[in-house]
Structure 1
Amino acid sequence: MQLLVASLLCVILPWLIQTWSLPVARNKPEADHSALTSLAALFGGFWLHRSVASLPGTRESSGILPGFLASYGLALTIILLFRIDYSRALLVVGFVMSVAWFFLIYAVTQRKTQLVLGVVGGGRTGLFDDMSGVEVVPLDGGPLPEEVDAVTADFRHDHSDEWEARLADYTLAGIPVYHSKDLYESLTGRADLEHLSENTFGALGPMASLLEFKMILDRLVALPFAIVLLPLFAVTAVAIKLDSPGPVFFRQRRMGYRGQEFTVIKFRTMREDRKHPRTESANPGVEQFITRENDRRITRLGRFLRRTRIDELPQVFNVLAGQMSWIGPRPEASQLSEWYQAEIPFYRYRHVVRPGITGWAQVNQGHVAEIDDIRTKLQYDFYYIRNFSLWLDILIVVKTIRTVFTGFGHK
Structure 2
Amino acid sequence: MIAVVAGGGGLAVYLVDQFFHQFRGSRLVVIPGGVSYRFLPAPGVTPMKDACLDSVDVDGIVADLHSSQTAYQEVMAQPGLTEVPTHHAGYLYELLTARVLLGEDCRTELTVSERPYYAHFKRASDTLLLAISLPLTAPILAVASLMLWLDAGGPVLSWHARIGQHGKTFQMATFRSGGTGDGQENVTSVGRLIRKLRLYELPKLWNVFKGDMSLIGPRPKALDFSPELFEEETLLEYRHYVRPGITGWAQVTHGFAVDEARRELEHDLYYVKHRSAALDLLIVYPHYTTKMNGVDLRR
Which residue, out of 311, 325, 329, partners 2:218? 329
Match of 1:152 among 62, 74, 83: 62
Structure 1 runs of 4+ with >6 Å offset: 109-112, 400-403
Report the secondary structure of 2:122's partner residue: helix
User: Could you tell me how far apart the structure 1 residues matched to 2:23 and 2:73 are?
Assistant: 37
The answer as to 2:83 corresponding to 1:169 is yes
Q: How far has the Cα of 1:220 moved from its partner?
A: 2.4
1:366 matches 2:255: yes
Q: Give the letter aligned to residue 197 of structure 1.
A: E
Q: Distance in 2 between matches of 1:179 and 1:230?
A: 50
Q: Which is worse superposed, 188-197 or 150-159?
A: 150-159
Match of 2:269 in 1: 382
Contact 1:116 1:136 in 2 (8 A): no
Verify the 8 A CA contact 2:43 2:96 in the aligned structure 1: no
Residue correspondence of structure 1 range 71-110 to structure 2 within 5 A: none
The answer to whether the 8 A contact 1:269-1:303 is kept is yes
Cα separation, 1, equivalents of 2:288 and 2:161: 27
Q: Does 1:127 align with 2:16?
A: no
1:182 aligns with 2:69: no
Query: Aligned equivalents of 2:265 and 2:197: distance in 1?
Result: 24
Alignment of 1:199-218 (within 5 A): 203-204=111-112, 206-218=114-126
Which range is displaced more, 221-230 or 324-333? Answer: 221-230
Distance 1:206 1:153, change over 3 A: same
Quickly say closer, same or farther: Cα 1:391–1:169, change in 2 above 3 A: same
Alignment-mate amino acid for residue 363 of structure 1: V
Q: Deviations over 1:265-323 (max 9, x none)?
A: 1222215xxxxxxxxxxxxxxxx659xxxx97544344443343322122111111111
For residues 121-143 of structure 1, the C-alpha deviation after alignment (integer angstroms, 9 at most, x for no partner) is 34321013333442123688731
Q: Match for 2:236: what amino acid?
A: R
Identify the residue that residue 392 of structure 1 maps to in structure 2.
279
Shift of 1:331: 0.6
Q: Counterpart of 2:42 in 1: which secondary structure?
A: coil
> Is residue 2:236 matched to residue 1:348?
yes
Q: Give the alignment's Cα RMSD to 1 decimal.
A: 3.6
Deviations 1:198-255 (CA, angstroms, capped at 9, x unpaired): 3xxxx43542342233223222222332343111111222232344444222211111
Cα pair distance change 1:153/1:402, threshold 3 Å: closer
The 1-side partners of 2:254 and 2:187 are apart by 21
Amino acid of the structure 2 residue aligned with 1:212:
H
Task: State the TM-score, normalizing by the size of structure 1.
Answer: 0.54
Secondary structure of the 2:102 match is coil
Percent identity reads 32
- Counterpart of 2:131 (choices 212, 223, 226) is 223
Whether the 8 Å CA contact 2:166–2:242 is kept in 1: the answer is yes
- Cα contact 2:172–2:207 (8 A) shared by 1: yes
Contact 1:226 1:316 in 2 (8 A): no
Name the counterpart of 1:191: 100
Change (3 A) 1:325 1:265: same
Give the superposition deviation at 1:374: 1.5
Q: Is the Cα contact below 8 Å between 2:126 and 2:215 reproduced in 1?
A: yes
Equivalent residue, structure 2, for 1:11: none
Note the 1:242-321 alignment, pairs <5 A: 242-270=150-178, 289=181, 297-321=186-210
SS in 2 for 1:134: coil
User: Kindly tell me: are residues 190 and 300 of structure 1, through their superposed partners in 2, closer, same or farther at Cα, counting changes over 3 Å?
Assistant: farther
What amino acid is aligned across from residue 196 of structure 1 in structure 2?
A: T
Quick check: 324-333 or 217-226, which moved more? 217-226
Distance 2:222 2:181 in 1: 7
Cα distance in 2, alignment partners of residues 135 and 268 from structure 1: 48
Stretches of structure 2 that go unaligned for 5 or more consecutive residues are 1-20, 291-299
Counterpart amino acid of residue 252 in structure 1? H
- Partner AA of 1:134 in structure 2: V
**Cα distance change of structure 1 residues 110 and 235 upon mapping to structure 2, 3 Å threshold:** farther
Q: Give SS of 2:285's match.
A: helix
Query: Which blocks of at least 5 consecutive residues in structure 1 are unaligned?
Result: 1-108, 172-176, 272-287, 404-411
Q: Structure 1 residues 119 and 297, CA, compared in 2 at 3 Å: closer, same or farther? A: farther
**Secondary structure, aligned partner of 1:236:** helix
| Separation in 1, partners of 2:210, 2:84 | 53
The range that moved more, 312-321 or 122-131, is: 122-131
Is the helix fraction higher in 1 or 2?
Answer: 1
Indicate how the Cα distance of structure 1 residues 145 and 244 shifts in structure 2: closer, same or farther if over 3 A, else same: farther
One-letter amino acid of the counterpart of residue 278, structure 2: W
